[in-house]
Amino acid sequence: MKKIVVFASGSGTNAENIIKHFASNEMVTVEAVFTNNPNAKVIDRAKNNGVPTEIFSKIELNESKVLQKINLIQPDLIVLAGFLLKFPENIIAAYPNKIINIHPALLPKYGGKGMYGMNVHRAIVDNKEVETGITIHYVNEDYDEGGIIFQKKVTVLGTDTAEVVAEKIHDLEQRYFPEVVEKLITENSK
């Protein structure tokens, strides 16, 4: 059985989508959802789908407490699905090329510290970009700079607001993120 751990900080729609995608899979399971936000909606989404949650502080993340909890699970893949804190080097070193993130833009554009959610979508609209998309990438020591695994583009119309762009990106995330996770975890088992 292949094991996934998901990290999320907010509403958890991507986390829930991944949980549901693997719910009937006999070869892959989402073992836990980790969050740094005790008020995150992802906690209820995980609970409603029978997945345990781990709530931790930024200090616990940057020290060894979160790594110790991850090591108890021994995941085959760690998936960052709307996780807003910088991932610590001790976890990256312990799980090389086993940590992935989804970013709501076509990296390397619109990446880096502070570039998440509506901040990205507003920048896309303000800069009159004609396309944007999603990037799924490996996590390294720097924000949004790990190797790119998958990108999917979508057109941005001149009349699109940041909210419209957000909807387009959400649709791409919901459609492609679970598929890419499944492909990665399946290929890594060969």
Just list the catalytic residues: 103
Burial (Cβ within 10 Å: 0-12, 13-18, ≥19) of residue 3: middle
> Distance between CA atoms of 127 and 87, rounded to whole angstroms?
29
Residue 177 DSSP symbol: H
How far is the CA of 168 from the CAs of 8, 56, 59, 117, 151, in angstroms?
A: 20, 31, 35, 12, 14
Please indicate if the annotation marks 127 as binding a ligand.
no
Backbone angles phi and psi of 30, in degrees to 5: -90, 110
Please indicate if the annotation marks 12 as binding a ligand.
yes
Please indicate if the annotation marks 49 as binding a ligand.
no
Residue ranges for the known binding site for (6R)-10-formyltetrahydrofolate are 101
Residue ranges for the known binding site are 12-14, 101
